[in-house]
Amino acid sequence: MIEKPLVPKEGRYVLHLFYRVEHGQWDLLSPEDKIRAKTDLSELVQEARSLPETQLLIFSMVSAKADLGFMLLTNDLITANLLEKKIALSLGTEILTPVFSYLSMTERSEYTTTDEEYSAQLVAEKDLLVGAPEHALAMADFSQRMTKYAQDRLDPNLPDWPVFCFYPMSKRRDAVHNWYALDFVTRKKLMAGHAAVGRTYAGRVRQLITGSTGLDDGEWGVTLFAHDLYEIKAIIYEMRFDEVSAKYADFGEFFIGLQMPLNELFHQVRL
């Protein structure tokens, strides 16, 4: 029996879970049993959200792919596994049928700008000499920003924005376009251009990239939040013209959901 938490060296575990509601089975329940089932799910959500280092979001899914969606972020693999089992049975047996799941972990980006690279940029682009007070001030500001960036990647605070999108993706490795055959400098340059597109959507789209190499079928999970579905459509469309996506990206299935209070969500999915 595992007694100690399974906490990773770095990052958080992330589970995306999508279910279909079996309304035929649900309709067989008495009104009292339906109230009890919804109460059980509500209490489970509150239980998860009260755990340390744990966040749980729940969505009414758009389209016939799924009815309910969950996004769980936690630092303990045992907790992730236990909550996933509880969620599957939260409304009773044979009520929720899993249609898709994805396991990943929050991670740093290997393509972030280093102190040395930023220092060289200050010298080349702003004529700030190393050792000058202005250079030191700029480097201190850069260090603070990068520390926050790493923290946001590893331990993000998931937003309550209403529109949610998730899809897995991998980098292509065929005979013509093989991302892993490129040298690091080339990959980093390409990713810098890719990131520049994403930054133009700051304030309109919140993005979380999680790593899944060796954990699931894809290599990354991409989670997007917005207040307007148009913005998600726009950023994904625009990024597909970027060389990183046009030549080297393979996309998985897309899932769109709506985040809302539980009482509204129950009404939305006809529970």
- Reduced to 3 states (helix: H, G, I; strand: E, B; else coil), residue 44 is helix
Residue tagged 């770095």 (tokens): 10
| Residue 151 to residue 167: CA distance in whole angstroms | 23
| Residue 121 to residue 114: CA distance in whole angstroms | 11
DSSP class of 206: E
Q: Name the nearest CA neighbour of 259 among 61, 106, 125, 53.
A: 61
Across 78-159, where does the E strand assignment appear?
96-106
Within 10 angstroms of residue 105's Cβ, the number of other Cβ atoms is 19
| Residue 92 to residue 154: CA distance in whole angstroms | 34
Residue 102 bears catalytic tag: no
Look up residue 144 and give its amino acid. Q
Which segments of the chain does DSSP mark as H helices, in order? 23-26, 31-50, 77-88, 115-126, 133-154, 184-199, 229-239, 243-248, 262-268
Q: Which of 13, 19, 167, 201 is catalytic?
A: 167
Q: Are 215 and 105 in contact (CB under 8 A)?
A: yes
Catalytic residues: 167
